[in-house]
Amino acid sequence: MPAVSTVEDICRSLVALDRIDHEVWAIDGELRDEPQAITADADTLAAHKAEHARLETTLKAARSEAGAFERELANIETRRTRAQNRIANLVTAEQIAATEREIANLGEQADEAELSALEGMESVEKITWSRDTEVTAIATGEVALAVRREAWNGRKAEIETRRSVLETEREPLFGDLRGDVARRYKVGWNMPFYKPPSGLTGADGIMCTTCRTTLSPKWVQECRRFDTLHACDSCKRILCFDPDAPPPVQAEVEAEVHADG
């Protein structure tokens, strides 16, 4: 037989039950969300590693290309020096003119190759910077992930223990509730629109604190006096006051007086 009898006792049990259920709900949220957040962090880290590997490959190609432009430039410069040295030994005006054209031509080629070599070096610098950014991100990410995982291992054990304590405390509270009260409490708790979930609501004057619907003043009075239990028509939560709560502040008293009239 249920041990709970008076409305005041029922309210006391409901308040205790709702507190426990709220804490269990918060723990379950943490047990669900934190592993997901850790997985997301691990995914981000893996993405940085993949980007780092891609940049290393790109950097290798860019270095090789820049090196090729530098060798080409050196080669052109060698040819230009040789042509310049040759001029002194030339006799005919045609030969001299042809060599001068060759030197001018090699000069243009050298300018082009130099530009390409500079661009190649700039590209190498940019990729190196990006690569180094990834190196930093990986190092930071690995430390942060390790710290988060370790913290979670401790926290998880702690809240799982707390959860089983709460379950043990909850069992007699819920088990001793009158069937209709337990049913109404569950209906209120399972209403999906109001977060965090709760089986109970309060009144701000005659307004439901959960859904802001105007309640029957008579109901509010009856609930405050622990004469009977009512549930809000709109959010379905049981209008339940904590019998052990400190006395209401002046504003609430005034609202109550107003509701009486």
Nearer to Zn ion, 62 or 235 (CB): 235
Q: Footprint of Zn ion on residues 174-213 (CB under 5 A)?
A: 208, 210-211, 213
Total binding residues toward Zn ion, as defined by CB under 5 A = 7
Element (DSSP H or E) covering residue 239: strand 238-239
- How many whole angstroms separate alpha carbon 124 and alpha carbon 55? 10
11 binds Zn ion (CB under 5 A): no
CB of 186 to Zn ion, least distance (A): 16
CB of 206 to Zn ion, least distance (A): 11
3-state secondary structure of 238: strand
Q: Which of 17, 28, 29 is nearest to 238 (CA)?
A: 17
The span of 28-36, 68-76, 172-180, 227-235 binding Zn ion (CB under 5 A) equals: 227-235
Nearer to Zn ion, 232 or 240 (CB): 232
DSSP labels, 167-232? HHHHHHHHHTS-HHHHHHHHHHHH-TTSSS--SEE-EETTEETTT-PBPPHHHHHHHHTTS--EE-
Distances (CA, A) of 26 to 67, 144, 150, 187, 191: 60, 24, 21, 19, 17
* Interface with Zn ion (CB under 5 A), residue from 14, 83, 110, 232: 232
235 binds Zn ion (CB under 5 A): yes
Nearer to Zn ion, 20 or 235 (CB): 235
Nearer to Zn ion, 105 or 216 (CB): 216
Beta-bridge mates of residue 204? 207
The span of 80-88, 142-150, 222-230, 235-243 binding Zn ion (CB under 5 A) equals: 235-243
Q: Note the residues at the interface with Zn ion (CB under 5 A).
A: 208, 210-211, 213, 232, 234-235
